[in-house]
Amino acid sequence: MSPEDRSGGLIIEADDAGIARALECLHAGLVVAFPTETVYGLGADAASAAGVAAIYRIKGRPLDHPLIVHIADADALGYWAEEHPRARRLVETFWPGPLTLVMRRHAQAPAHACAGHATIGLRCPSHPVARRLLAGFAATGGRGIAAPSANRFGRVSPTRAEHVRADLDGDVPLILDGGDAEIGLESTIIDLSTDRPRLLRPGAIAGSALAEVLGEPIGGAGSAAPRVPGSLAAHYAPGTPIELVHAGELADRVASLRKGGLRLAVWSREPCLANSVDWLAAPSDPQEYGRMLYDGLRRLDQLGVDRLLIEAVPAGEPWDAVRDRLARAATGSGAQEP
């Protein structure tokens, strides 16, 4: 690796040569950033203690927070986890795709990525670049790629290669470019490690779709859920304080904060017509909203205003994942007082 590569956070095309370079890095115990259909991941060989340690160091992630291991196909499940009929049913329907299964870890599986937990998160992504990378890794003896989202701990997840460079510049030797993430929000996580399946993180695959395939109800993340990063109230936050406001209260809130001298940006479906307030149009379709959420937060964050006012999204399951990420972003940004 040349010094230029190390300092540049190099974005490279995900052609055969790019994939080959990424595989070299992975096998050498280094990290690479790569695209998935949800968000970009910061990957390392899940069986390499040094590689996994580099992920934690670069992200600034607490060492007791487990990572998701990405695998090439459902056949690789049996190496990492104790097989379970529920898992089989779900992967037949939803893999490859934006679903992570938390399962009991197999005794033979390396524990570096699990942060000491007896369980392991497993996902088989559908993005063509991720699939080629994982297939290439498996073909060269690799078992799985541990990868959290490629952002610093607690910050907004990256949905394009440029976001990764902006966040992790200088710390990542190589960023595979796979264009804009199609989904834009992290995978749905379901915990299959206990008697009753539980949803740990909402995502593009709805809880009701999982329940239908399993033929049984699934619980929400209860108080017994392991304390892991996706379950922290404050997460996915930009630097500017965020306030969530219902549509009907937006105009009054803008007026009162402006009276107090605050510079504002508003993200809502209806245009905000107040003078000198930056406005970004919010999609009214939940998939479209999910796709642009993190990029929107980054753009709003760069305006340098004092506060972001974001219109609360509708109730109902199609909005669960977006609502979850907005709530965490607002909590993490520290502007929840009305």
Task: Tell me which residues touch ligand TXA (CB under 6 A).
Answer: 36, 38-39, 41, 66-68, 100, 102, 114, 117, 119-121, 123, 125, 147-149, 186-187, 189, 200-201, 226, 228-231
State the binding partner of 207 from Mg ion, ligand TXA, none, CB within 5 to 8 A by kind: none
The interface region with Mg ion, picked from 143-151, 270-278, 284-292, 312-320 by CB under 5 A, is 143-151
Q: Which of 36, 100, 119, 149 binds Mg ion (CB under 5 A)?
A: 149
Quote the least distance from Cβ 158 to ligand TXA, whole Å: 9
**Rounded to whole angstroms, how far apart are CA atoms 3 and 40?**
24
Quote the least distance from Cβ 128 to Mg ion, whole Å: 22
- Tokens matching residue 203: 């995502």
Quote the least distance from Cβ 128 to ligand TXA, whole Å: 15
Residue with Cβ nearer Mg ion (86 or 298): 298
Residue 187 in contact with Mg ion, rule: CB under 5 A: no
Q: b/e map of 38-67 (b: 16 or more CB within 10 Å)?
A: bbbbbbbbbbbeebbebbbebbebeeebbb
Q: What residues are paired with 120 via a beta bridge?
A: 103
Quote the least distance from Cβ 248 to Mg ion, whole Å: 33
What distances in angstroms separate CA 323 from CA 4, 326, 329, one per listed residue? 41, 5, 10
Residue with Cβ nearer Mg ion (100 or 149): 149
**Rounded to whole angstroms, how far apart are CA atoms 108 and 92?**
24
Residue with Cβ nearer ligand TXA (266 or 289): 289
Residue with Cβ nearer ligand TXA (278 or 287): 287
Residue with Cβ nearer ligand TXA (102 or 133): 102
Cα-based torsion angle of the residue sequence 121, 313, 238, 168 in order, rounded to the nearest 10 degrees: 40
What SS3 state is found at 264?
strand
DSSP assignment of 143-199 equals --EE--BSS-TTSPPPSSHHHHHHHHTTT-SEEEE--S-SS-SPPEEEE-SSSS-EE
User: Do 150 and 282 contact (CB within 8 A), yes or no?
Assistant: no
Residue with Cβ nearer Mg ion (183 or 245): 183
Q: Nearest-CB residue to ligand TXA?
A: 230
Residue with Cβ nearer ligand TXA (292 or 335): 292
State the binding partner of 310 from Mg ion, ligand TXA, none, CB within 5 to 8 A by kind: none
Quote the least distance from Cβ 66 to ligand TXA, whole Å: 4
What SS3 state is found at 233?
coil
State the binding partner of 66 from Mg ion, ligand TXA, none, CB within 5 to 8 A by kind: ligand TXA
**Rounded to whole angstroms, how far apart are CA atoms 192 and 324?**
21
User: Do 103 and 88 contact (CB within 8 A), yes or no?
Assistant: no
Radius of gyration of the chain (CA): 20
State the binding partner of 114 from ligand TXA, Mg ion, none, CB within 5 to 8 A by kind: ligand TXA
List interacting residues with Mg ion (CB under 5 A): 149
